[in-house]
């Protein structure tokens, strides 16, 4: 009887231990670090309480980074959702070679972020990049892309959308494949056109899948680091510096560990708040279906 009561804990015990080691311990360490002033040593530190968090409210660089983080995440997720949904509807049809095309569309998602960023960096080159070559063919003016503060963040959002859209495509495509055909046939019999079928039949049935895809991509884009760091390192003139990049620069370039930890704790809080808010919206959407 005792073994029977202990069996659930024996099965879940390893998972709990792994979560504590790889999630709880780093989180607690980061929180404690954000309450300390390390100066020039990681051994000798001074407890400063919430001083770093009070400084963040007056730090214009932090406020600007917060705005860029929200713009980067919101724009990338919106573009990924639109592009991924279009790709899913295109690949939901049966045509010769559809399996090969689906595999090719998935490749950006499975590619290494650093390697993809390096390739895109060469494409964004203002003088030798292929993107400006295409613009020249179309009769459009060349762009500085990553070299200009006006276009650096947008350029990185293009890369993020390219890497994120295949994930959205897979989720939406799975929803389309599992969708019952009876409502579609009824709508066709009632004389609904394609737009009406999408708005009133297909979209309500895909709402849960699209909300799930958006949630994952929101979390990913809010804490995006490799692409931004490889392409611009937050430049030029901090035009693409998000909170993650700012926190990393404080901790590992300026060795201001306490203040950098406070920035990253605020980023973690932002991710948690937006995630819980989005999950609440998703649950309410399911209840109203």
For residue 28, being part of any structural domain is answered with no
For residue 145, being part of any structural domain is answered with yes
For residue 86, being part of any structural domain is answered with yes
For residue 16, being part of any structural domain is answered with no
Residue 97: which region, alpha, beta or left (left: phi > 0; alpha: psi -120 to 50)? left
CATH number at residue 149: 1.10.3720.10
CA 252 to chain centre: 23
100-111: average pLDDT: 84
Residue 286 has pLDDT above 70, yes or no: no
pTM: 0.88
Residue 2 has pLDDT above 70, yes or no: no
For residue 111, being part of any structural domain is answered with yes
State how many domains the chain has: 1
Query: Comparing C-alpha atoms, which of 225, 75, 70, 245 is closest to residue 157?
Result: 75
For residue 97, being part of any structural domain is answered with yes
Report the percentage of the chain scoring pLDDT > 70. Answer: 94
> How far apart (Å, rounded) are the C-alpha atoms in residues 133 and 197?
41
Give the HSE-up count for residue 256: Cα atoms under 13 Å, Cβ half-sphere.
Answer: 12
For residue 37, being part of any structural domain is answered with no
Q: What is the band of 40 on the pLDDT scale with cuts at 50, 70, 90?
A: low
For residue 29, being part of any structural domain is answered with no
Choice between 97 and 60, residue whose per-residue pLDDT is larger: 60
Q: What range defines the domain where residue 221 resides?
A: 56-288
Residue 172 has pLDDT above 50, yes or no: yes
H or E element in which residue 37 lies: strand 36-37
């Amino acid at each position: 009887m005792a073994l029977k009561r202990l069996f659930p804990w024996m099965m879940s015990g390893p998972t709990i231990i792994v979560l504590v080691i790889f999630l709880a311990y780093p989180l607690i360490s980061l929180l404690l670090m954000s309450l300390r002033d390390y100066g020039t040593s990681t051994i000798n530190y001074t407890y400063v309480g919430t001083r770093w968090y009070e400084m963040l409210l007056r730090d214009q660089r932090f406020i600007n980074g917060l705005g860029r983080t929200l713009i980067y995440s919101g724009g990338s997720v919106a573009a990924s959702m639109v592009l991924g949904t279009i790709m899913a509807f295109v690949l939901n049809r049966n045509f010769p070679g559809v399996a090969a095309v689906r595999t090719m569309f998935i490749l950006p998602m499975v590619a290494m972020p650093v390697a993809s960023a390096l390739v895109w960096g060469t494409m964004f080159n203002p003088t030798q990049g292929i993107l400006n070559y295409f613009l020249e063919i179309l009769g459009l003016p060349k762009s500085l892309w990553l070299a200009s503060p006006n276009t650096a963040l947008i350029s990185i959002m293009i890369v993020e959308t390219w890497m994120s859209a295949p994930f959205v495509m897979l989720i939406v495509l799975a929803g389309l494949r599992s969708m019952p055909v009876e409502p579609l046939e009824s709508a066709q019999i009632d004389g609904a056109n394609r737009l009406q079928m999408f708005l009133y039949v297909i979209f309500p049935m895909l709402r849960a899948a699209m909300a799930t895809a958006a949630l994952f991509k929101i979390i990913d884009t809010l804490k995006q680091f490799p692409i931004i760091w490889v392409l611009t390192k937050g430049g030029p003139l901090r035009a693409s510096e998000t909170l993650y990049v700012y926190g990393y620069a404080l901790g590992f370039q300026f060795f201001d560990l306490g203040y950098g930890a406070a920035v990253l704790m605020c980023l973690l809080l932002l991710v948690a708040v937006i995630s819980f808010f989005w999950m609440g919206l998703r649950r309410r959407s399911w209840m109203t279906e």
